[in-house]
Each structure stands twice: as structure tokens, then as C-alpha cells.
Structure 1
């Protein structure tokens, strides 16, 4: 919406923002956990250019060699870039599990220590809410919707989109600071509760009734 207004499309007085809500399936069974001494970061989405998985792979490649031994990136999703991403990540601690249904994708997310969203642009970012609802700390590119959901350092971490070094630094923060992880987990759950599906429905009802 901000982009549309900057481009001269629409009038602010005629625009209304209604945020999406999200529920987490009950009795979600997490996938196999990584060993206790391994930090698992998950990435979930379509492997397409606008999702920018390359920046995540580049950030992993920048991790210190000694930390590579206790780090794992799990990539959940398929798409036109899947084969290429698999090739460039072949020498890294990256596990490609392919496209999954929503419940299985959430189970993989729940198995991780943190979740990363690297998109060049996200209108909202439901996947951020899903991770928060699962109690998984989030690090996301500071573009679009995620930057409205996340307050950097309080309920998640933000990094400049496309900046692999900044993402690497955020990953290192998460790996080395258990207090930060706990704070992001607790505050992320609180933030998730700000987006109930019932509120979205009520806002839509009021808009159409106006």
C-alpha cells in the first residue's frame, strides 16, 4: 500500500489496512530435532527469485568454519530455483526437503531453533506469524509486511534485504545468545496473539458494512 501511494496510486482516505490472522494447527508434531549441539535454522517458501534464497545460502557460506559443524539450514519448499539452490549449497550444512503440505512445513519449522525469511518483498508475511505462533524466533528482511510485524531486537531480528553479511551476523547472534533467543520466543508469541483470525473477520465485516 505504501508503494502504491508513493507511485501516485489511490488516496490515503480511501485505503484501509486489514491484517491477516493465523491459527496454528493443534497437536502439531515437530519433525526430528537436530542434535542438541546443532543450531537449526529453517527457511520455508517457494524457491523463486523474489524469495531470495540466495542471500540465505550466501550468509551460511560466511559462517566461521568451526561453527559450520554445529549449524544446519533446512530448506522447505520447491520451485524453479530448487535444483540450482541445491547445487550451490551442496558443500554446505544445508538440507533440502522439498515441497511439503502446510502441516508438514509447519512441523519442520517447529523443529528449528530459528526461522529466516529473506524475501525481496512480502505484502504481509503470514509465515512470520506462523513461526511466532510456534514459539520460533524469526529473523527477516526489513521489507514489506515483516517490518510491520517485527520490532527489531524485541520480538524478532531484521536485516537489510539482500545483505548476506548482516544476515550472517544475525545468525551468529542467535547462535551465541540464549537470552536473546528466549526473549524473541516469548515476545514473538505475544505478537502472534495480536493477529487472531476473528479480528480479521470482524474488520472485514465492518468495512463492508460502512
Structure 2
């Protein structure tokens, strides 16, 4: 068995606040490692240093919180590394992929690039109406692309986008021909807890006993299409008095992200505003009860590259709990739902189609049950943690370096110097005289 050091986030059962996608993503890798018998050292970013935290998850997991916003944090991280002596290192999501570049290690590194940072930066720039931080983002991304041995992504489109990015920093070279740099790790479905301590009652308490509950669970990010959501719900509520909307979640802390506030303002003008139940962020132990009592879960996005390259964790969670889903057709996961008939989909921005899908499920309990059972089977098998992380689990059994990061002789290479000087000369000729060999 191997010793794997993980730079990740609070595990769902140990999180002190709201559980975010990054917590589930960390657990998606850690749980199969423990099941396979590996020793794990997990380091997460926290406000204060807390080492060797006691927990009841597994004796092979050592759990540490580090203040990674404080000057000198790499020293503490490297001390953990040297004490643990890992065979390989895993970094989960962008910030930890950046942090692992400051780790003084000769061990192979797997970087999980969950979401395309370039596409996310484009949205942030549009929302904030400035490009501050873009140069730093490119600089950080280049560091990650140069120092990883293996990478994983949340979707197939992102996988090939990342291959292109690796090519731009010369990782597609003569040493790596035929080497599989990037692996797909779709968002996984966590095992549903059999017993939960939080059991809020919706039917007969928050909403009428015969209500048809449309559930939103999670943050309202800048790419959440609240305009289409509101228009569809307004029309559906007008046509079926049983339909209510329950929202568990709220604002996402991104500068200039006003999606949630705009949605609340729209609800305030609605004749059906008493049927919108905006509950805000709720304790993690209550979430399963909302999934189990709702009739349909909903997801919708605006159209841009983040939608096409990214994914939506909430869909996997809903499916895992046997909740039928309706989603806009954009990310790869939504295409899987459409192709495998695991739920209903609609074109991005089409409020009429979304309304029709809601009404169709509200009027057809048999189809709801069929979709729920089919989706739950798919989530618990094809999207299980063990199945989705199969390539990583294979790597963890014997971590290896990328071929171009294997240590070689450090002798000065005059031929490489010649190639570099040639490239400089050709670049100058092009910029000054527009001369380049062609055709």
C-alpha cells in the first residue's frame, strides 16, 4: 500500500460550516484511497494551525489544518511532508494545485484541476468589469502545468482543453509522446447516510400537504440563470397551484455576484411570492431531508465556456438521493442525463421549455418514479466514488512521474542552447521584418 499526501478541503463530515463542492471533491478521492488500504495525510487550508486532529473516520487518515494565508506556511507544509514521507502527492482544485508547487518534494504529483480556470476568469472579468489578476492567474497556471505529473478534470471537454494548455507550456514534447497526461474524473455520488440528525419537515409544515416541491440546493453563482428560473416558475405556478419552490443555499462570495439578490428582487414582485421559500444556507445534516421530501431538483446555467467545460455537483447529489432532476443542457453531466434518460433537460435560456418540464413531472408521478430509480442506479454505480476515481486509484498503487519530469543528467546541452538562440533570432525576424519560412 502507498502513502499519499493530499492537499484538499474540509471533509463533509468534519466541515464546520456549509458544505461546498470542494469538500465533496476531496472526499471523492480520499474515501477510495482509504478503502484501498492506503495511508493518507490530509492538509487543508484553515484560519489557524491545528495538527493531528482527532476524528472517527479511519485510523489511516491523519488530518491537519494549516493557515495557508499566513507568511511562512510552506515551512509547516513541508514539515508535514517530510514527517509523513509520502510516495505520491494529490492536490485537489486550483488553489491547492498552486500550493503544491511550493512543496519541496521529489515525489510524483497528481493535480485535480476541477473546472477550467481560464473560463472562470472570463466570467469574473465580465462580472467585475476589470481584468485585475489576469496576469497572476496565467503565471500561476503555468507553474501548475509545468510541475504536475498527472492531471484530472471534471469533464471530457475540460480534459482536452487542459491538454491544449499543457502543450502551450511545452509539456507535449518528444519525451511524453503516447503518455496520458490528463484523466477524466467526473463528479462522484457520495454514499447517502442512512440516518441523519436533522429532519426538517416540509409537507404540512413549510408547504401544503399536497404541494409539488421544486428544489434548488446550493449557491447562486454568477452563471446561474435566475431570469429563466423565475419566468419558468412564475408560469408553472400560474398553471398548477400545487407547485412551490424551496431554495436551500444562497449567495456565493464572488465580487459583484448579485444573482441571488436579483432573484430575491424578482420574487418580491411576484403574485406567487408566498410560494417561494428561500431558506438560505442550511446545516449539512438537514440536506438529505430536503432531497428526500422534494419532488424534483433543478439546475440551470447561462451559456458560456465555463458551462460547457465545467460540471454541476448538485445534480449528482440529487440523483444519488433518488430525486428526479431537470437541468439545462450545457455541461457534460447534463448530456449524460439526457442520453441515459436519467432526468429531463431543456435548452439554455428557454423558460417555456423549463416550465413545460416542471408541469410534465408534476402531472406524471409514474414517470417521476421511473426517472428517480434510473438516476439513483446510475449515480450509485457509474458515478460512485470508486468508479469515477479508477484512474487515480491505479496511479496511487504506484505513483509515477511524467516522462519529462524524470530526473536526467544535468550536463549543459549545447544543442538546446543552439535551439533557444535560433528561436530568439526567428522571433526577432518575424517581429521586425515579418519574415518566416512558410509553405
Same fold (TM over 0.5): yes
TM-score normalised according to structure 2 size:
0.43
Please show how residues 126-141 of structure 1 align to structure 2 within 5 Å.
Answer: 126-141=313-328
Cα 1:3–1:189 change in 2 (3 A) is closer
1:197 has 2:385 as partner:
yes
1:103 has 2:285 as partner:
yes
1:20 is matched with which residue? Answer: 187
1:89 is matched with which residue? Answer: 267
CA distances 1:33-84 after superposition (whole Å, capped 9, x unpaired):
33342100001121232122332111011226241x2110111112143333
Conservation of the 8 A alpha-carbon contact between 1:117 and 1:141: yes
Tell me the C-alpha RMSD between the 2 structures: 2.6
Tell me the number of residue pairs that the alignment of Structure 1 and Structure 2 aligns. 209
2:294 is matched with which residue? Answer: 112
1:65 has 2:238 as partner:
yes
Local SS of the residue matching 1:65? helix
1:168 has 2:355 as partner:
yes
Greater RCO between the two (CA within 8 Å, min separation 6)?
A: 1
2:214 is matched with which residue? Answer: 41
Local SS of the residue matching 1:40? strand
Conservation of the 8 A alpha-carbon contact between 1:31 and 1:110: no
1:56 is matched with which residue? Answer: 229
Shift of 1:30: 4.7
Distance in 2 (alpha carbons) for counterparts of 1:23 and 1:162: 33
Shift of 1:203: 2.5
Distance in 2 (alpha carbons) for counterparts of 1:152 and 1:74: 28
- Deviation larger for 173-182 or 121-130: 121-130
Distance in 2 (alpha carbons) for counterparts of 1:174 and 1:58: 18
Of the three residues 331, 334, 339, the one matched with 1:147 is: 334
TM-score normalised according to structure 1 size:
0.85
Distance in 1 (alpha carbons) for counterparts of 2:377 and 2:283: 26
Local SS of the residue matching 1:89? helix
Of the three residues 31, 51, 56, the one matched with 2:200 is: 31
- Deviation above 6 Å: which 4+ runs of structure 1? none
Query: Any stretches of 5+ residues in structure 2 without a counterpart?
Result: 1-155, 168-177, 252-257, 401-439
Cα 1:146–1:202 change in 2 (3 A) is closer
CA distances 1:146-198 after superposition (whole Å, capped 9, x unpaired):
22441358211111122111110100110111221011111011111122222
Conservation of the 8 A alpha-carbon contact between 2:329 and 2:347: yes
